[in-house]
Structure formats: structure tokens, C-alpha cells
């Protein structure tokens, strides 16, 4: 069944959109990532104009994250205090990010920057996670006790300490604020929730337990993407409600299923799967930049250089 | 000024042949873009009205063009720099129709001479107006060609030779398939009658392409009350998220 999208001004298959929403929703629930880094390129691929894809995706992430966070709240795996600190950083970062985005747009090359951001961040994070999880799995195979995380590093020397009971941490608020800020900037530039950066940062940098990481990142993502959606809707008029509804119907159902799958898998397995996925997307985008494109020319609306 | 001259030329040229006028009909003169819009096929038909006898030689040929609204387009070309493909040169094409179809009753070159094509802007390359390329871009032509190539691949530009059927030099009909990815606006439809490659008569009308119903409402809301539209989108998103969560809880408790 074809459906015409009023803002995107293209006609697409409704079931295709529902299916895409569902698959990305499952991943979102499993890993606590918004799924934007997968969905946004997929939407480009089926012919949605990039500006509309990015803005609408932010709206869709709100829905799937909200659905996911409710499931996590029920299991008490959301550190609300940590989430709020991350969120404050995130909102400031998103504001900066939009300004940076508009500045780069005036210079041209914004597409290139977005793609390079994807390749670099996905590559580094995916690689690190993959190696780490592989080592962790090897250790459990040998029945050796899991390596103790460095409990005392430079992070513990910073001021403004705060107790995060759910995470079992007593650390300074500065690192989570900075993590939130960076994720906010990247979220605005790359048009994603930023979970794929925040989740590893929370695990490896802040030392949070994997169980609470997913719920807490979803909590932060909801507010940052809601803010981004409003910014796009009021400045660029690129949020397509019809597209968002179709994606989110699939997405919210998928997120519920994903959350349940996530609880059945071990933390190491979960991480290695996420790492593989991140690497696949990264490789795909890198090929785009390295191989000669079949069409060298591209059309865009005038004025936006 | 040019237009006035051109109009005069047409007036002067017309009496050479016997007066022939187009009477046009269309299966629809408006296209309503609804939620399940999946492209539209428009049947364009008509007759030639004349007072005198039919001139046999050269035979009457018919061209039909349908043109979407003219818009400026930025064309960018990728180049390999430091090992990766990046957008380098860009050229702004001043006005290119969002949709353009030409249907003819014979091979294009036979139906219309090059001079007449230039004058009436009929063929696809002539329908695109590109004034000047910025300094430093050498092959500006290839940018205009890229617009045609990309839009032809998307079904937005169509050259339909031999697709106008002409009966007894009087009745003609053709159909133009408009794809689903249309932009709104007035689609100018022209019918040109030619003899020996010269235009003897022309007729112009327009097809109104508009969003209707829910599509119209959403589009207007997003432009006129963007904040409300954004908040509504968020409200739907949160409601859907909560709804799915509640539904799953219910299913789990029930089952």
C-alpha cells in the first residue's frame, strides 16, 4: 500500500516503513540506542529527502525511547539522577550542535562532515567495544573471574561529587555533564539519539553497571530528541508527521520486544552484537566515501550551497 | 520585449498557413494529492478547428508538453580529494521544471526544427534555464546535463516520441504519466501544432496539482503553526510509546 507523505512529498510503501520501524525498534529496546544511526541512512536509501529524514527520525526516537524507558522504569534500571545530569549537558550540547550545523551548512560540505562523523565515531566505538567484549567472553570461557574495572582513575579526583545510588557510584558531576554535552552536539549534527556513543561512554568512562546504562541513556535521549524535533519543526519545517507515525507504530512495538530479548541475553553478548552492528554501518558509510559513486552529481534546493 | 517580438512573429507567421486552432480536452484538469496518492495518468486529447480545407503537405504534427513549476536547483559534483569523494564544484541552475514531459507525434527532429525548439523552449534541455556558471567551473554544460539525467532516471523528465496519435490531421490524443513524487503547483500544459517543423498554432492551459484533505491540513499546520505542529508530533510520539508499553503489559498479565 503506497502512502504519500505530506512534508517529504514522496510516495512510499506503508508496510516497508512499518517494517523498518519495527526492526529498528527491536534494536533500540535491546541496546538502549535510539536506532537513529541505522534508521536515518535507511530512510535516505528509500528516497526520503535527508533533511526530512533527520528531523522525522528525531521524532520517532522520542516514541521508541519512551516505550523502552517505561519498561526499564518498571524494572528499576533507570538512574534518574544520572539521567538528569546527562540531560542538562545534552540540552546545552544540542543547542550548540544546531548552531554548529547551521554554520557548516553556510560553508557547504555539511554532508561530508556528517558522514565523516559517522565513520570516525562508529569505527572507534565499534572497534573498542568489539575487542573489549571479545576479551570478556574469552575470560568467562576460561572461568576466570572478570577483570576488575579500574575503580580509581582521574575521574575520581574531580570536585562536585555526587552520589548516584542506582548506579552505585560516587563521582563528580563534571564527567557525566561533559558526556551529555558531547552527545547533545553529535545528536544535533548527526540526527541521531546518540545512544551508541553514550552507552559505551557510560560503561567505560563513568563505570556504570551495564544494567542501568540502557535505561538511563533512553531517559536522556527522550528529552534531547524531543528538543531537537521542536527545533527542526519550528526552523526548517521538516518533521513529517505521517512518516513519523508509521515509523513509530512499528518502532514502539519493536522496542517492547527488544527490551525483553535484551534481558535474556548476557551483557557481553549484548555488547558484542551492538559492536558488530556499529562496525557494519561504519563500513558501509566508509565505502560510500572511498568508492567512486555511480552518479557524481547531486541535486539540491538552491540557496543552501 | 522579446516576448512582444515573439508574439508579433507568431502573428505574422500564422497567416502563411490556413488558420488552425486547438480545441483541447483533458481527463482531469486538477490532480489531488491524497494520502494514498500513487502518481496519476492524464489523458490529453483534442481536435484541430479550421475554417478552410485540410492542407495535405506538409502533414500536421502535434507536440504536447507538461511542465511543473520552475525552481532553482543547486547541482554539486563530487571529486576525489585526499582519497575520499567529496562535493567540490557546484553550479546553480536558475530555473528547472520540477516535472517535464514532451510527447510528440513523430521523431522530435522531424516534428520541430531546431530554431522553433529554441523559440518555444520545447525539448528538455531547452526547458531548463541556466544563465551562467561561476568562475572556475569549466564544463558548466555537464551540470545542466546532470539535472536532466537524474530527473529522467526518477521519471520526472520524459521524452515521449511517437506517443501522440493523430487521426485525419484533426483528432489527437496522448497520455502523460505523472509520478508520485510531484511538487504542488500549476502544471503548464502546451499543445503545439506544426507543419514541416514550423509551429502553426499553440494552445496553453494548466493542470492544478494540489494536496487535499489530511495532507493539506498537515502541510498547512507545519508551515503556519510550526510550534503547535512540533508539539503535536511529540504528543503523538509519547502517546504511542506509552500505549505500546501499556498494551504489552496488558498482554503479559493476560497471557
pLDDT digits (tens, 9 = 90+) for B174-183: 999 888 878 8
The partner residue sitting opposite A4, judged by closest CB among B36, B241, B248, is B36
Q: Do B219 and A6 touch (CB under 8 A)?
A: yes
| pLDDT (average), residues B150-154 | 88
Using CB atoms within 10 Å of the CB of residue B236, give its burial: 0 to 12 exposed, 13 to 18 middle, 19+ buried: middle
Mutation site, A297, A302, A303, A304, interface B, largest B CB count within 10 A: A297
DSSP A23-79: HHHHHHHHH---SHHHHHHHHHHTT--HHHHHHHHHHHHHHHHHHHHHHHHHTT---
Q: For every residue of B170-237, which 3-state class applies, written as one string?
A: CEEEEEEEECCCCCCEEEEEEEEEEECCEEEEEEEEEEEEEECHHHHHHHHHHHHCHHHHHHHHHHHH
| pLDDT (average), residues B58-72 | 89
Q: What is the pLDDT of residue B134?
A: 64
Positions in chain A short of pLDDT 50: 148, 304-305
Most confidently predicted of A138-142, B35-39, B81-85, B110-114: B110-114
Task: Give the contacts of B148 (CB within 8 A, at least 6 positions apart).
Answer: B124, B125, B128, B157
Average pLDDT value for chain B: 83
Q: To the nearest 10°, report the CA torsion of A276, A279, A284, A288.
A: 180
- How close B247 gets to chain A, by Cα (Å)? 9
Q: What is the pLDDT of residue B84?
A: 79
What grid cell was written down for A96? 550548540
Task: Give the contacts of B48 (CB within 8 A, at least 6 positions apart).
Answer: B20, B21, B22, B23, B60, B169, B170, B171, B172, B193, B201
B255 pLDDT above the threshold of 60: no
CB of B90 less than 8 A from some CB of A = yes
The partner residue sitting opposite A59, judged by closest CB among B74, B218, B237, is B237
DSSP A133-167: HHHHHHHHHTTPPPPPP---SGGGG-SSEEEETTT
The partner residue sitting opposite B72, judged by closest CB among A9, A63, A302, is A302
Q: What is the pLDDT of residue A106?
A: 63
What is the spatial distance between Cα B15 and Cα B12, in angstroms, rounded to a whole number? 6
CB of B52 less than 8 A from some CB of A = no
Q: What is the pLDDT of residue B100?
A: 92
**How far, CA to CA in Å, does B239 sit from each of A64, A214, A249, B43?**
11, 21, 11, 45
Tally the C-alpha atoms within 13 A of residue A45's C-alpha that lie toward its C-beta: 11
pLDDT digits (tens, 9 = 90+) for A23-49: 888 877 777 666 777 787 778 778 787
pLDDT digits (tens, 9 = 90+) for B93-151: 888 898 999 999 989 888 889 888 888 888 888 888 776 666 666 777 788 888 889 89
Q: What is the pLDDT of residue A110?
A: 67
Q: Do A9 and B232 touch (CB under 8 A)?
A: no
CB of B177 less than 8 A from some CB of A = no
- Sort out which chain B residues have CB atoms less than 8 A from A249's CB and list them: 240
Please list the helix, strand and coil fractions of chain B in percent, rounded to the nearest 5, in that order: 35, 40, 25
Using CB atoms within 10 Å of the CB of residue B230, give its burial: 0 to 12 exposed, 13 to 18 middle, 19+ buried: buried
Interior CA angle at B146 toward B145 and B152, to 5°? Answer: 90
| pLDDT (average), residues B35-51 | 85
- How close B144 gets to chain A, by Cα (Å)? 10
What grid cell was written down for A208? 556504570
Interior CA angle at B114 toward B109 and B116, to 5°? Answer: 110
Q: To the nearest 10°, report the CA torsion of A19, A36, A125, A115.
A: 110
Domain ranges in chain A are: 2-290
Amino acid at each position: 500500500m503506497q502512502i504519500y507523505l505530506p512534508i517529504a512529498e514522496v510516495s512510499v510503501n506503508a508496510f516497508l516503513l512499518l517494517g523498518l520501524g519495527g526492526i529498528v525498534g527491536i534494536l533500540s529496546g535491546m541496546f538502549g540506542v535510539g536506532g537513529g544511526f541505522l534508521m536515518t541512512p535507511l530512510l535516505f536509501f528509500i528516497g526520503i529527502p535527508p533533511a526530512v529524514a533527520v528531523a522525522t527520525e528525531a521524532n520517532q526516537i522520542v516514541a521508541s525511547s519512551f516505550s523502552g524507558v517505561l519498561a526499564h522504569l518498571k524494572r528499576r534500571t533507570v538512574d534518574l539522577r544520572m539521567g538528569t545530569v546527562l540531560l542538562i549537558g545534552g540540552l546545552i550540547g544540542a543547542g550548540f550542535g544546531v548552531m554548529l550545523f547551521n554554520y557548516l551548512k553556510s560553508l557547504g560540505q555539511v554532508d561530508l562532515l556528517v558522514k565523516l562523523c559517522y565513520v570516525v565515531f562508529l569505527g572507534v566505538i565499534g572497534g573498542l567495544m568489539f575487542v573489549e567484549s571479545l576479551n570478556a567472553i574469552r575470560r568467562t570461557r576460561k572461568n576466570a573471574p572478570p577483570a576488575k574495572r579500574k575503580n580509581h582513575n582521574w575521574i575520581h579526583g574531580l570536585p562536585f561529587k555526587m552520589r548516584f545510588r542506582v548506579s552505585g557510584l560516587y563521582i563528580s558531576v563534571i564527567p557525566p555533564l561533559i558526556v551529555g554535552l558531547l552527545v547533545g552536539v553529535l545528536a544535533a549534527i548527526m540526527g541521531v539519539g546518540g545512544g551508541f556513543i553514550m552507552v559505551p561512554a557510560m560503561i567505560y568512562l563513568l563505570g556504570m553497571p551495564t544494567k542501568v546504562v540502557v535505561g538511563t541513556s533512553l531517559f536522556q535521549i527522550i528529552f534531547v530528541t524531543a528538543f531537537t524535533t521542536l527545533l527542526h519543526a519550528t526552523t526548517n519545517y521538516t518533521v513529517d508527521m505521517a512518516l513519523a507515525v508509521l515509523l513509530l507504530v512499528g518502532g514502539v512495538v519493536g522496542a517492547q520486544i527488544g527490551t525483553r530479548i535484551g534481558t535474556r541475553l548476557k551483557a557481553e553478548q549484548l555488547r558484542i552484537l551492538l559492536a558488530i552492528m556499529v562496525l557494519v554501518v561504519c563500513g558501509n558509510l566508509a565505502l560510500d566515501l572511498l568508492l567512486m559513486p555511480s552518479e557524481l552529481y547531486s541535486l539540491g534546493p538552491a540557496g543552501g550551497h | 520585449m522579446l516576448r512582444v517580438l515573439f508574439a508579433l512573429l507568431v502573428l505574422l507567421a500564422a497567416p502563411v498557413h490556413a488558420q488552425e486552432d486547438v480545441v483541447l480536452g483533458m481527463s482531469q484538469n486538477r490532480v489531488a494529492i491524497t494520502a494514498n496518492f500513487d502518481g496519476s495518468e492524464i489523458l490529453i486529447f483534442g481536435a484541430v478547428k479550421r475554417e478552410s480545407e485540410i492542407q495535405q503537405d506538409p502533414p500536421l504534427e502535434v507536440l504536447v508538453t507538461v511542465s511543473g513549476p520552475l525552481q532553482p536547483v543547486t547541482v554539486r559534483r563530487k571529486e576525489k580529494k585526499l582519497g575520499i569523494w567529496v562535493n567540490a564544484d557546484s553550479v546553480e541552475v536558475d530555473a528547472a521544471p520540477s516535472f517535464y514531459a514532451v510527447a510528440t507525434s513523430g521523431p522530435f527532429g522531424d516534428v520541430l526544427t531546431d530554431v522553433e525548439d529554441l523559440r518555444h523552449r520545447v525539448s528538455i534541455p531547452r526547458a531548463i534555464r541556466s544563465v551562467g556558471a561561476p568562475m572556475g567551473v569549466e564544463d558548466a554544460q555537464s551540470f545542466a546535463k546532470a539535472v536532466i539525467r537524474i530527473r529522467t532516471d526518477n521519471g520526472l523528465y520524459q521524452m515521449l516520441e511517437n506517443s501522440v496519435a493523430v487521426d485525419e490531421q484533426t483528432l489527437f490524443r496522448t497520455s502523460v504519466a505523472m509520478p508520485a513524487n510531484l511538487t504542488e503547483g500549476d502544471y503548464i500544459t502546451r499543445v503545439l501544432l506544426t507543419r514541416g517543423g514550423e509551429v502553426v498554432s499553440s494552445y496553453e492551459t494548466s493542470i492544478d496539482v494540489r494536496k487535499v484533505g489530511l495532507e493539506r491540513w498537515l502541510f498547512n499546520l507545519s508551515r503556519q503553526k510550526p510550534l503547535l505542529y512540533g508539539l503535536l508530533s511529540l504528543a503523538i510520539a509519547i502517546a504511542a510509546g506509552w500505549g505500546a508499553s501499556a498494551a504489552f503489559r496488558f498482554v503479559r498479565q493476560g497471557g
